[in-house]
Amino acid sequence: MESNILTDFIKEHKLSYIIGLVFMFLSSYVQTLFPKILGNTVDILKTKGFQENRVYANIGYILLIAAGTFAFTYIWRNLVIGNARKLECYLREMLFDHFQILSPEFYSKRKTGDLIAYAINDINAVRQTLGPALSMAINGIVVCVISIYSMVLAVNWQLTLLSLLPVPIMVYIMIYIGGLVKRRFKRVQETFAAISDRVNENINGMRVIKAYVQEDKEVEKFEKLNNQMVETNLDMIRVSAFLAPLIEICFTVSFVFNLIWGGNMVLKGRISLGDFIAFNGYLTMILAPVISIGQVTTIFQRGMASYGRLNEILRVKPQVKNDGSVRDLPKASININKLSFTYPGAEKQALKNISLTIPKGHTLGIIGKTGSGKSTLIQLLLKLYNVENGSIFYGDTDINEYKNEAIKNGIGLVPQDNFLFHASISDNIRFFKDVYTDDAVEEAARNSCIYDSIMELSDGFETILGERGVNISGGQKQRISIARALVRNPEILILDDALSAVDTVTESRILNNLRTLRNNKTTIIVASRISAVKQADEILVMDKGEIKERGTHEQLIKKGGIYHEIYQYQFGTGNFGSIS
């Protein structure tokens, strides 16, 4: 977390913080009036022929103290603790925004459960530290300072000093145990992240687990993680549980000193009984804040551990540069010039010396074996990874001169992994944007050949999909994803193996719709099946990161190379005329 994040938040809410702190001090001060008034009342009752009106007046003061404490505490808790809740929301939104700008490389190295732990446990720990814990600490310090001052001034400084002798020991205990708690809480957060990740993987992969009859094995793995979670929490509790009892023991010693020394002072007439009762009241009043400060130390150390983790994640910078200034993608050709690329941390090149021009309005087909570099080329066109200047141009402008948002807004992508949200089909096609009308959504569904399947469902377009579209087939998921891209009507449309789960008849219908719909707009189709690309204006055959062949379907068949071999393997004949 950058150092100015909390500063900015506090500046934005400084008025409520100032008012809250003022009422916090008032509440603490009013509380410390009670022991003195109680002691004064006892002394009045000991006096022969005491005046009842003075007793009633003191009773009235006590009731006023109670009412004032209630009112002031209510106000500062609403302001200070309320701000802590706002801070929690502020940090969670900031973290979520940060997740949105991070590059794919970041997510390839991080587990989902760990990221969830940041957004839930760590932010909650920071909120507790800067809300309840900080409030208890300030309130406790104020009460302790005023109480000690009153004990010295109103009763006896020697008795005060003797009663507070165990305090240095308490401070040492709090600091030492707090350090242990911080280290062990960090381990608790790590095990929480691991168990969250395991639950997430199992829920998403439940069909595979059941298909391979691995339920018992997965339960064993989960039990092991769960036991680790229990042990790490118990390790932390074993340490933190020492704190309150040790502080209470120290205070017990204080009370023993006070009863022996103070009782003797009362008997000798050096202090009144009322002063002795007031002194004990102040000492009791100090006990609760000191114990709470011990708890605050534990919470504070947890918060600092989480604060460090949040700092770590928020310091991660997006690997993909966004230094460009051009905000709109032009309606122009795409030019690739001697593009080579190696994934970060890899030794082998994924793409080698790719040169290519895709004229505006053309359809480009890309085919090749798995791992040939097809998807890598698409990811670079989308600027999901950094590319060297002079490698990719949209129109006459280098890709690095565009804002990343310009590229994403100008290109419609249907990826291999079709992610659908737990929402209605209509919302999934709209992607939750109200700018698209119902007619536009229906038209996109017709062009992606999913309209009839949707209308067969009981609620039509308002049918709620399960998480990741678990309640529909793979082909239906792909077609809904295609509709999501088509409703945007982008200048450049990329289908990254987006027809692999549909049958050849449906595939042919979708492609015919695209040829009509995408007239004068650029389309790139990455596929494993020749049937998906054979009508393209140009087809690239990629292998080992290089373009091995290029041309139209007919040209590549006649050439008799890799494309011809793929064709023969898929159709069992070299007679391409029968499927043209």
Token readout for 191 is: 């095990």
Together in a domain, 404 and 276 = no
**Are the C-beta atoms of 418 and 485 separated by less than 8 Å?**
no
Quote the tokens at residue 406: 């310009």
**Mean pLDDT along residues 241-263:** 77
pLDDT at 573 over 70: no
Q: In this structure, what DSSP letter does residue 496 have?
A: E
pLDDT over 60 (residue 577):
no
Residues 402, 320 contacting (CB under 8 angstroms): no
Residue 240 shares a structural domain with residue 386: no
Q: Which residues contact 114 (CB under 8 A, 6 or more apart)?
A: 193, 194, 196, 197
Give the number of other CB atoms < 10 A from CB of residue 515.
Answer: 13
Residues 312-340: pLDDT tens digits? 888 888 888 888 888 888 888 999 999 99
Which pLDDT score, from 0 to 100, does residue 578 have? 36
For residue range 478-492, what is the model confidence (pLDDT) as tens digits?
999 999 999 998 999
Q: Are 412 and 521 in contact (CB under 8 A)?
A: no
- How many Å apart are CA 411 and CA 329, to the nearest integer? 9
For range 266-291, the mean pLDDT: 77
The yes-or-no verdict on residue 495 having pLDDT over 70 is: yes
Describe the chain by its helix, strand, coil percentages, rounded to 5.
65, 10, 25
- pLDDT over threshold 80, residue 221: yes
Report the amino acid identity of residue 98.
H
415 pLDDT band, cuts 50/70/90, is: confident
Whole-angstrom CA distances from 152 to 65, 157, 160, 162 are: 22, 4, 6, 11
User: Is pLDDT at 406 greater than 50 in this prediction?
Assistant: yes
Q: Which residues of 414-449 are buried (b: 16+ CB within 10 A; e: fewer)?
A: bbeebebeeebbbbbbbeeeeebeeebbbbbbebbb
How much is the average pLDDT of 73-93? 88
Q: Answer with the residue of higher pLDDT: 469 or 371.
A: 371
pLDDT over 90 at 569, yes or no? no
Is residue 435 predicted with pLDDT exceeding 60? Answer: yes
Position 4 scores a pLDDT of: 62
Report whether pLDDT(465) > 60.
yes
Q: Which amino acid is at 550?
A: R
Residue bearing tokens 């119902």: 438
Look at residue 565 and tell me if it is in a domain: no
Task: Specify the higher pLDDT residue, 574 or 214.
Answer: 214
Domain count, the chain: 2
Name the pLDDT band for 359 (thresholds 50, 70, 90): very high
In whole numbers, what is the pLDDT of the chain averaged over residues? Answer: 84
Supply the CATH number for residue 30's domain. 1.20.1560.10
Q: Would 406 be classed as within a structural domain?
A: yes
Inside any domain, residue 357: yes
End-to-end C-alpha distance for the chain, whole angstroms:
59
Give the pLDDT score at 336: 94
Exposure of 111 by Cβ count < 10 A (0-12 exposed, 13-18 middle, 19+ buried)?
Answer: middle
In a domain, 111, yes or no: yes
In this structure, the answer to whether residues 476 and 538 fall within a common structural domain is: yes
Same domain, 366 and 255: no
Please state, in angstroms and rounded to a whole number, the distance separating the CA atoms of residues 553 and 563. 9
The larger pLDDT score, comparing residue 266 to residue 359, is at 359
Residue-wise pLDDT tens digits, 95-110: 888 888 887 778 777 7
Tell me which long-range contacts 150-156 makes (C-beta under 8 A, separation of at least 24): 150/32, 150/35, 150/36, 150/278, 150/282, 151/279, 151/282, 151/283, 154/36, 154/275, 154/278, 155/271, 155/275, 155/276, 155/278, 155/279, 155/282, 156/265, 156/270, 156/271, 156/275, 156/279
User: 308 and 387: one domain?
Assistant: no
What angle is formed at CA 529 by the lines to CA 523 and CA 534, rounded to 5 degrees? 55
492-496 vs 411-414, strand pairing mode: parallel
How many CB atoms are closer than 10 A to CB 330? Answer: 15
For the chain, what percent of residues have pLDDT higher than 90? 23
Indicate whether 293 and 198 sit together in one domain: yes
DSSP code of 359? -
Q: Element (H or E) spanning 73, and its range? A: helix 52-76
For residues 350 and 144, the model is more confident at: 350
- The candidate with the shortest Cα–Cα distance to 150, out of 31, 32, 244, is 32
Is 0.75 surpassed by the pTM of this model? no
Q: Are 153 and 237 contained in the same domain? A: yes
Specify if 459 maps to a domain. yes
Q: How far is CA 224 from CA 199, 221, 249, in A?
A: 13, 5, 38
The answer to whether residue 323 sits within a structural domain is: no
Q: What percent of the chain has pLDDT over 70?
A: 95
546 lies in which domain range?
A: 334-559
Note whether 233 and 363 are same-domain residues. Answer: no
Torsion of CA 79, 81, 87, 88, to 10 degrees: -150
The mean pLDDT of 9-17, rounded to a whole number, is: 85
User: Based on the domain organization, do 127 and 226 belong to the same domain?
Assistant: yes
Does 427 lie in the same domain as 476? yes
Instruction: Tell me: do 139 and 260 sit in the same domain.
Output: yes
Sheet containing 397-398: which strands, arranged edge to edge?
A: 351-358, 334-341, 392-394, 397-398
Task: Verify that 409 and 293 share a domain, yes or no.
Answer: no
Most confident of 102-116, 157-171, 172-186, 391-405: 391-405
pLDDT in tens, 115-162: 877 888 888 888 888 888 888 888 888 888 888 887 777 667 777 777
Whether 516 is covered by a domain: the verdict is yes
pLDDT the model gives residue 397: 92
More confident residue, 430 or 468: 430
The pLDDT of residue 3: 46
User: Is residue 574 in some structural domain?
Assistant: no
Q: How far apart are CA 128 and CA 445, in angstroms?
A: 48
Backbone phi and psi for residue 365, each to the nearest 5 degrees, phi listed first? -105, 140
CATH number at residue 473: 3.40.50.300
Say whether pLDDT at 2 is over 70: no
